[in-house]
Amino acid sequence: MTQLRIYATQAAGIAADRASAVASTPKPLFSTSNPALISAELKTRGIKFQRWPSQPGLEQGANQEQILLAYQSLIRSVQDSDGYGTVDVMRVGGDQPSSEPLRQTFLREHQHAEDEVRFFVEGRGLFSLHINGEVLQLICEANDWIAIPAETRHWFDMGANPSYCVIRFFKKSGGWAASFTDDPIASHYPGLA
């Protein structure tokens, strides 16, 4: 289930090792699974969130061409309104044995020079956004669309056994490029169970 939790950032000096971080995991100040409340909370922080209708003719495991065709009108609407010239499909999990190194890369706090825009076709993932003294954790699932503005500090957890498929939107054709902050903050907050 899609869920938003909002935490105050932890004070400096908390132990960076995972065991101590889990023991001192903060309690959320706010938590909801209501899509309208999720969208409203994220909007106040400059994050766009929508629920798109599922496409009944699209089968689990569909290929890129089938997915892009099924969501063509919604994709075009986003491209026209926000100028995303490049769209592709990324599938992680299943028979891909190298997902753990990818997971570890995404778990490091980073930011991008352009917006990070994703639509979950299948599966789920956890975006953690570090914004102005808060950490917002959003579990995205199938039919969730999110647009994180450029330069927003964040990390992403695909889980220990990842299985998801997303449509990715880019303004530039270079694809995913991250600038890592080297802040250990991600180790202080829950991951995707």
Question: What structural domains and CATH numbers belong to the chain?
Answer: 3-188 (2.60.120.10)
The reported pTM is: 0.89
Residue labelled with tokens 């991250």: 178
Dihedral (C-alpha) 154, 96, 176, 135: value to the nearest 10 degrees? -10
Mean pLDDT, residues 90-119 taken together: 88
Mean pLDDT, the chain, integer: 89
Predicted local distance difference test score (pLDDT) of residue 14: 40
Residue 73: band (very low, low, confident or very high) from pLDDT cuts 50, 70, 90 = very high
Q: Which residues of 4-33 are buried (b: 16+ CB within 10 A; e: fewer)?
A: bbbbeeeeeeeeeeeeebeeeeeebeeebe
Predicted local distance difference test score (pLDDT) of residue 4: 98
Mean pLDDT, residues 167-181 taken together: 86
CA distances from 161 to 4, 95, 192 (A): 21, 11, 10
